[in-house]
Structure 1
Amino acid sequence: MHRPPHLPTKPVTSAVTAGRLTRRTVLKAGGTLLLSVLSPLPAAAAQILAVRVWPAADYTRVTLENDSDLKATHFIVPDPQRLVVDIEGLDLNPTLKGLVAKIASNDPYIKQVRVGQNRPNVVRLVFDLKEEIKPQVFTLAPVGAYKHRLIFDLYPITPVDPIAEMIEKGDWLRDPAAPVGKTELPATVVVRPELPAPVPVPVKPEPPVPARPAPVQKVARMITIALDPGHGGEDPGAIGASGSREKDIVLSIAKRLKFKLEELPNMRVMLTRDGDYFVPLGTRVDKARKVQADLFVSIHADAFVEPSARGSSVFVLSEKGASSSTARWLANKENLADAIGGVNLYGQDKQLASVLLDLSTTAQISDSLKLGKAVLSEIGGIARLHRGSVEQAGFAVLKAPDTPSILIETAFISNPEEEAKLKDNGYQDQIAAAIAKGIKSYFARNPPMAKSRTT
C-alpha cells in the first residue's frame, strides 16, 4: 500500500506499549529511591553536651552528658596509676576538651586528665590518679532535665570510715562513752634516809569504822546525730524562681545546725555529705547506721506545683500510707533522688538495699513521732507551719529500722517569699537554732539508752 509522504517512516509505538515502558521506568526509579532510603547512612558522631566533676572524700564522680547512648570500655594501668577510658562513636569537641580544666588540684583521687582522639570515632580519656582506685563506669538514661549520661565513679580501694572521719572533723579529746578506769595516780612515798628513824609512841587504837562503798560514777554517754542535707551533686533538688538550689541551702542549714549541736555537751554530729556531691538514699541510711546514730535528721526545702504552697513541715515514716496528698506527693518526689542523682544499679548490693529501704519497726516510728513533735514545736515559734502536726509518708531515707528518723521541710523554695527567707543567713540560723532546741528537748524527755558497744 502506498504510504503518504507526510507519515513518519519510523515505526510508531502503540499506546499500550508506551504505557508499559512508562510504568517500568517509574518502578525502576522508585526501586532505586527505595534502596537509597534503606541503605545505611554513615552514623553521626554523638555530641557531648556538658562535662561535670564532683570531687568528695567518699569518691570523685565525672559525668559526660550527651545526646545519645554511649559505649565505653575502661582498664587500669599501674605504675603510675592511671584509668584509661575509650568511648566509641564519639569525636573530640571543645566541650569534652574542657574536662581538662575542670579537674581541681585538691581532688582526692585525680591528678589530671588527658583527652584525645585515639582513633576514628573513638575518644580516649586518661585519668592520672593520686592513689589506687576502684572505678565504676556506667550509663544513665535521660531523666528530668538530663539527657544521656556516661558516669565514672572513682572510689578508693579502702572506703572512707565514717566514724574516723567524724571524729577527725570534731574536737573530742575523749569519748565519754569509753570505759572509765582508775586514772588517779598512786600516792608518792618519799624516803628520807638522812633523818633518824622516828621513835615509836604508843597510840590508843581507834575503833574500827566500816568502809563506805565508793560512790557510783555516772558517765554521760556520747550522743551521735546524723544530719542529712538532701540532694547534692548531679541532683540539685528543687530550684526556686530566682535560681536558688535546694542542695545549697540545706547544706548551709545543716552546717549551722552541726555547729549548734556540738556546742551542747556530749554531742557529736556526722553529715551524710559535707560538700556538693551526690549520695544515694540507701548510702545515707547506711552511713548513719555505721556510726550508730541516735537520731537521723534529713533537711530539705522542697517545691510544690503551686507557688502559693508555704510553711515548714516535719515528716516521719509511715507503714500505712501518707497522712495527706501533699505528704504522698513530696515523698514520691524525694524518692526519685536516686534516679536524678544517678545510682549504679549494677554496683548495688540489692539484698542490702532491700533491707535498708523496706525494714521498719513500730518502736522506731513511735520514737520518730516524739522527736518530730519536739522539733516541729520549736520551728513553729519562728516560722509558719504548713500543718500543725507531724505528717507521715513513705520517705525512703527514713527507713532505718533502729534509728529515730525525721525529715524536715524547712520551707517551700517554690514560694517566692519563702525562697527569699531561705537564702537569708539570719533565717537559716534561726531554723538551725530551732531544730537544735527541739533535739535537746527530745533528749531531755527521752534519755538515750546504753549502747552495746562504744563508737
Structure 2
Amino acid sequence: MLRIFILTICVWSLALPVWSQNQISGVRAAPSGNKTRVVLEVSEKPVFTYFTLENPNRLVIDLADTSRKSNLSQANISGSLVKKVRYSTPKNPQSARIVIEMARKATPTLFPVEPDGAYGHRLVIDLQDPNPPPASVAPSVVLNADNNTRDRDIIVAIDAGHGGNDPGSIGRAGTYEKHITLSIAKYLEKLVNDEPGMRAVMTRNGDYYVALNKRPEIARKSKADLLISIHADAFTAPGPRGGSVWVLSMRRADTELGRWLERSERHSELLGGAAEVISDNASERYLAETILGLSMDHSMSTSYDLSRKVISEMKSVTQMHKSSPQAASLAVLTAPDIPSILVETGFISNPQEEKNLNWSTYRKKLASSMFSAIKSYFRQVPPDGTLWASQKMNNRTHKVRSGESLSLLAQRYNVKISSLKAVNNLHSDTVRIGQVLTIPRT
C-alpha cells in the first residue's frame, strides 16, 4: 500500500505544471561606435538560443524556463538601430521568446554575464551595425557639460608603466621595464601631438612612481577619450615572447561600477551637472545606475574594438603572444567612463625581445603601430564634439563599383589621392568592389 501511495505522489508531482523560474527585470540598449549593445537583466543564468529574420530585420531569442511577465515596453532604448524589444509566441509555455526589431540588418553576438557587484545575471547582445548613420557615431552617455566644446581635440592619455622605485620587470641583461615603457610612451606622445585634432596627456614624464589608481584619475581630469597603458611582459623562463593587448574583465568592471554607485559623492565626476538633480531615492538612484552602466558598456566595447586594431597593427612589428584581446583585473584600466587598454610590447625576459626593446628604432615602430590603430579607430568613430567628428559629418561617402579606382575617384571628387588614403586609412592604392570610402571635403 505504501509503495502505491509513493508511486501516486510521484506521478502527481510529474503532472504538475513546471513554473518558469527566470525573470527579466530590465532591458536597455545603447549604441557604441559601429555596434549597439542590448542588455537583458535576468534573475538566473540564461539558457538561450537565437536566430535572425529579414524583411523586416529581427533578432529572435528563445529563453528557456523564463517568465513573460516583465513589461518590455519600458525598455530603455537609444540609438537608431534598435526600434523595439517585444515578446512573441514562445516555443513552449515555459519559455519566453524575445524579438528585437531592427531598423537595418546587423550581425548579433550573444553571451551571458555572471552576477557581480551591483549587477545580477545578464544576457548581453552586441549588434554589429555594418553601416551606422552619422548620428549614431560614438555617442557619449556621460552627461558632462564640460565635454560639449565644439571641435575639440581627441585626448589620448598615455601611461608609461611602473617608474621610480618600481622598476617593473628586469631583463636578463639588466634592462628595466620602466625605462622601455617611458621611451615608447614619449614616441607615441609625439606622434599624437603631431596629428591635427589630437592631443596627448602623459601620466608620467620622467622616472618617478605614480600610484595605479592615480593613473586613470589623471586621464579623467584631462577629459581623455582613451587611456593606453604601455608595459613589457616577463616570465620565469626565457622562452615566451610576443606582444599582447589587455582590457578590463567583465567581473572587475562590474565590481568597479558597483563601487562608483555606492560612492554617491563621486557621481558628479561621471554624470556632470546631471548628478545635481539625481537624488538618493530609489527611482532616481536607478537612473544614475542606468547612465553609469551605459557608460561602462560603451567604454568596454570601445576598448575591445580598439584592442583588435592595435593587435592587427602590432603584427607588422612583432609576433603576438596572444592573437586576440585578453581580459584581466587590472587596476589601471578601471575608469568606468574612459576606454582603456594595456599593451604588453613583448617579453623583456626573452633575450631576443629584450635586445629588440633596447633598440630605439624598434621602440619607434611599436609606438607607430599603436598610433596607427588609435588614429584608424577614431577616424572611423570620432568622439562627439571633436574636430574629427565635425569633419566626418561634413564628408561624403562613396561605394566602390566595378571599374573604379582610387585615382578615378580622386579625379571625380576633385581631391588628392593622399587625402583619400589618409581619411580611409589605406596603405595602398587598391580598392575593392563594394568598399565604402569617405570622401573628404576640399
TM-score band by shorter chain is 0.3 to 0.5
Higher helix share: 2
TM-score, scaled relative to structure 2: 0.44
TM-score, scaled relative to structure 1: 0.43
Work out which structure has the larger RCO, using CA pairs closer than 8 Å and 6 or more positions apart in sequence. Answer: 2
